[in-house]
Amino acid sequence: MAATSPLRRAHTRHRRLSHTQRQRLLAWALIVPAFLVVFALILTPILRAFWMSLHVIDLKRPAIGQPFVGLGNYLDILQDATFWASVARTGYFMLISIALEVMLGVAVALLLNQHFRGRGLLRALVLIPWALPITIDAIMWKWIYNPSYGALNSLLYQTGVIASYRTWLSDPISAMHMVIIADVWKTTPLVILLTLAALQTIPPALYEAARVDGASAWRGFWDVTLPLLRPVLTIILVIRTMDAFKVFDIIYIMTSGGPSDGTKVIAYYTYLEAFSFLRQGRGAALAWLMTLFIGMMAFLYIRLVNRETEY
């Protein structure tokens, strides 16, 4: 920030010459504690992970030592069909869950932007899934899906939707969709809250102008609301892409990557390599590949945020 106010300039002139230098020193001093914490525990591990990824580190076979293999781990991974299958599953999870979250989220945000009795209460309710820890979300849905005692089977059976109980999590395709439902229930509220905040900044005069011009509510949505929501929707998409790409907790608890690897997403695959098979060099390489993807998304995010603030 440049010191621009005339008062401030007059004030600084009274100080010694080293004032700017002292301010700069202070600017650094305020940051140093945070950076010590963040860099010691984030930057060092990142570099160490990269170094590890260049070696074969197989803790189950200590006899082979930890030979340096250069980019060998990366090449191995990129030629591995299991890796690409887990990438495809992650992509499917991201695509379906984000599409549902954005569509439902915008719809509910539009609803909450209307005037009706109980609107405040409903807005408060939206916070419940958002605040619920993801692990609790996972055990809750796993219990609902329980093949023998679960609420879902009972509800669908008693209302005549299904003729016999199903084992929702025992089929790879069904399991993936059940996990997606649990994720959508938990995450749509974030989309609702962000979209609603953006909707509330749209001046009502714009809608009135559209109505005077004879536009229907539907056209008003497409021509007025949606273009104005574009910035927030773009940001939601980027945030959700970064997050959904890392999906782990819900998979670990609900399906453990199964059945027959049907929900083995990239984060779970990496976790298994590093902590179950103890192939930590390969695990580190996988983590680096994940980071590269997320880094690209983060870069996009920063570009978008910068463009937004400029107007």
Contacts with another protein in 66-125 (CB under 8 A)? 108, 111, 114, 116, 118-119, 122-125
- Tell me which stretch binds another protein (CB under 8 A): 77-85, 86-94, 146-154, 172-180: 146-154
What is the Cα–Cα distance from 270 to 88, expressed in whole angstroms? 14
Nearer to another protein, 27 or 163 (CB): 27
Among 56, 175, 242, 265, binds another protein (CB under 8 A): 242
- Provide, rounded to whole angstroms, the least separation between the CB of residue 63 and another protein: 19
Nearer to another protein, 92 or 157 (CB): 157
What is the Cα–Cα distance from 292 to 127, expressed in whole angstroms? 32
- Provide, rounded to whole angstroms, the least separation between the CB of residue 69 and another protein: 17
Tell me the per-residue interface mask from 148 to 167 with another protein, x by CB under 8 A, - otherwise. Answer: xxxx--xx-xx---------
- Interacting positions 34-53 with another protein (CB under 8 A): 34-35, 37-38, 40-46, 48-49, 52
What is the Cα–Cα distance from 27 to 230, expressed in whole angstroms? 36
Asked if 1 is part of the footprint of another protein (rule: CB under 8 A), the reply reads: yes
Asked if 133 is part of the footprint of another protein (rule: CB under 8 A), the reply reads: yes
In sequence order, which residues have a C-beta less than 8 Å from that of residue 157 and are 6 or more positions away?
A: 163, 164, 165
Nearer to another protein, 67 or 133 (CB): 133
Among 18, 135, 216, 276, binds another protein (CB under 8 A): 135
Asked if 232 is part of the footprint of another protein (rule: CB under 8 A), the reply reads: yes
Is there a contact between 55 and 231 (Cβ–Cβ < 8 Å)? no
- Provide, rounded to whole angstroms, the least separation between the CB of residue 33 and another protein: 5
Among 63, 131, 161, 205, binds another protein (CB under 8 A): 131
Among 33, 160, 203, 214, binds another protein (CB under 8 A): 33
- Provide, rounded to whole angstroms, the least separation between the CB of residue 107 and another protein: 8
